[in-house]
Amino acid sequence: MGQQQTFETRIFEAIRAERARTQVPDGFPAMPEIPGGRYMREDFFKLEVEHVFRRSWVMAGHEQELPEPGTYKRFDKLLGSPIIIVRDHEGVIRAFYNTCRHRGAPVVKDASGRCNMLRCQYHSWAYDLAGRLRSVPDEHDFVDLDKSTRGLLPVRCESYRGLIFVNEDPAAIPLLDYMGPLAEEWSETGVEDMRLDYRWSRIINCNWKCALDAFQEVYHINTLHPKTVGAMLEHSAATMGLLPNGHSRMCVRITGADIDATPEDGWPNGEVYRRTSVAQTLWPSLNVPWSVGTGRFILFWPRSVGQCEIEVIGLGPDWGEGPLPEDRVAANANFDHILDEDVRNLESIQASLDSGAFTGMMLNYQERRIYWSHEQIDRVIGVERVPQELRVQPVLAPYVET
């Protein structure tokens, strides 16, 4: 309780300070212009795919998609890295490259299914659910085949309260360490009891960061969402938290919610989620807006320098038997409507960026989460690999919550 109290109190205090503020806090640095080439150049895009997406923890789905031993699904969102995720006979969820150790064919072709063995659809090499090569047709015709060295190549796979994450970097730090304070903050939402209630994905013709950026500030809500979010939230009553590893948080007071008077015995657990609109970014590209009882996991997957895929995985309270109740369908449609107000804007932004008129991005204090994401991109790529003219100068480290 003590720790929760601290979190609630800290967030509400920070929002009150934001509302009262009439200028940028003393000493806050100017954030240098973000070079436009980071949204348009093929060489930078390749660095992002190689060093960011293929070396970070990314959300690959939910354990409810793999309810029984032997259930599996393909995970193809990481550019150039076909992966299979499977629940083994002990119930452990594992990930492997979907690449047969015989001649490299994809082992499974179906998007999802259930099996006792992962049997390659080309010549029937069969792997058990732990990835070990178990049987090879006409094995006597292979000279010196050592089956124990030809198992499926594993990919790091860890879960957080039902959410499945993978990381292609074998040396990555554990998922919980990577999440840092978000592991604790998400525990307040009851996410482990939520049930998958909808999901879709859509290709958008804009750079993945262009799409993500729209979810890392509320500076735009009065102009882009005047009848929806803009009417429900007050953009100046918002606090932005910069967190380790490029992650960040935004809490915006829900119009009319009382965040002033701390109750005598402290704020109840989870009150930040009831009195503010909370959305966190798990770097590099997962943004999660919460409302009471629901989490909407918005994933931004790079497809090419000028194209991304937006995937939404919705979780909410278990509704029991039968189809999703009408009010829940309506709530999801409402969420999609708001998201669409952002998405409709994106393709025209990319066209405008590509025109050549755009040289760089100038961010204000409210938009500093975007700058923080960029700083982390350079740190993880390795600044020496980033072309000099595309680098972002790190200035925000002193403002990270510890």
Nearest-approach distance from CB 291 to Fe ion, in angstroms: 15
Nearest-approach distance from CB 155 to ligand FES, in angstroms: 18
Burial per residue of 26-62, b for 16 or more beta-carbon CB atoms within 10 angstroms, e otherwise: eeeeebeebbbbbbbbeebbebbbebbbbbbbbbbbb
Q: Pick out residues in 117-156 that bind ligand FES (CB under 6 A).
A: 120, 122-125
Q: Residue 186 touches which of Fe ion, ligand FES, none (CB < 5 to 8 A by kind)?
A: none
Q: Which is nearer to Fe ion, 197 or 342 (CB)?
A: 342
126-127: strand order across its sheet? 118-119, 126-127, 133-135
Nearest-approach distance from CB 29 to ligand FES, in angstroms: 55
In which residue are the tokens 């093929």 written? Answer: 42
CA pair distance 387, 311, nearest whole angstrom: 30
Q: Residue 102 touches which of Fe ion, ligand FES, none (CB < 5 to 8 A by kind)?
A: ligand FES
Three-class secondary structure of residue 52 per DSSP = helix
Q: Which is nearer to ligand FES, 105 or 232 (CB)?
A: 105
Residues lying near Fe ion in the complex (CB under 5 A): 342
Q: Which is nearer to ligand FES, 105 or 324 (CB)?
A: 105
C-alpha dihedral over 84, 85, 88, 94, to 10 degrees?
110
Q: Which is nearer to ligand FES, 46 or 109 (CB)?
A: 109
**For residue 334, which phi and psi values (nearest 5 degrees)?**
-65, -45
DSSP secondary structure code for residue 32 in this structure: P
DSSP secondary structure code for residue 314 in this structure: E
Nearest-approach distance from CB 144 to ligand FES, in angstroms: 17
Residue 35 bridge partners (DSSP): 360
Interface size with ligand FES, residues (CB under 6 A): 9
Q: Residue 122 touches which of Fe ion, ligand FES, none (CB < 5 to 8 A by kind)?
A: ligand FES
C-alpha dihedral over 246, 251, 252, 257, to 10 degrees?
180
Q: Which is nearer to ligand FES, 16 or 150 (CB)?
A: 150
Cβ atoms of 249 and 241 closer than 8 Å: yes
CA pair distance 331, 337, nearest whole angstrom: 10
Nearest-approach distance from CB 75 to ligand FES, in angstroms: 19
x-or-dash string of contact with ligand FES, 192-221, rule CB under 6 A: ------------------------------
Cβ atoms of 61 and 85 closer than 8 Å: yes
Cβ atoms of 36 and 362 closer than 8 Å: no
Q: Residue 105 touches which of ligand FES, Fe ion, none (CB < 5 to 8 A by kind)?
A: ligand FES
Nearest-approach distance from CB 116 to ligand FES, in angstroms: 17
Three-class secondary structure of residue 312 per DSSP = strand
Q: Which is nearer to ligand FES, 122 or 219 (CB)?
A: 122
Q: Residue 89 touches which of ligand FES, Fe ion, none (CB < 5 to 8 A by kind)?
A: none
Q: Pick out residues in 62-101 that bind ligand FES (CB under 6 A).
A: 100
Q: Residue 103 touches which of ligand FES, Fe ion, none (CB < 5 to 8 A by kind)?
A: ligand FES
Q: Which is nearer to ligand FES, 28 or 122 (CB)?
A: 122
CA pair distance 372, 69, nearest whole angstrom: 41
Of the candidates 96, 95, 83, 80, the residue with the CA atom closest to the CA atom of residue 48: 80
Q: What tokens appear for 298 in the block?
A: 């918005």
Q: Residue 115 touches which of Fe ion, ligand FES, none (CB < 5 to 8 A by kind)?
A: none
Q: Pick out residues in 97-116 that bind ligand FES (CB under 6 A).
A: 100, 102-103, 105
Q: Which is nearer to ligand FES, 127 or 297 (CB)?
A: 127
C-alpha dihedral over 27, 33, 34, 36, to 10 degrees?
170
Q: Which is nearer to ligand FES, 99 or 366 (CB)?
A: 99
Q: Residue 342 touches which of ligand FES, Fe ion, none (CB < 5 to 8 A by kind)?
A: Fe ion
In which residue are the tokens 């009848």 written? Answer: 227
Nearest-approach distance from CB 214 to Fe ion, in angstroms: 5
Residues of the shown chain interacting with ligand FES in the complex, contacts defined by CB under 6 A: 100, 102-103, 105, 120, 122-125
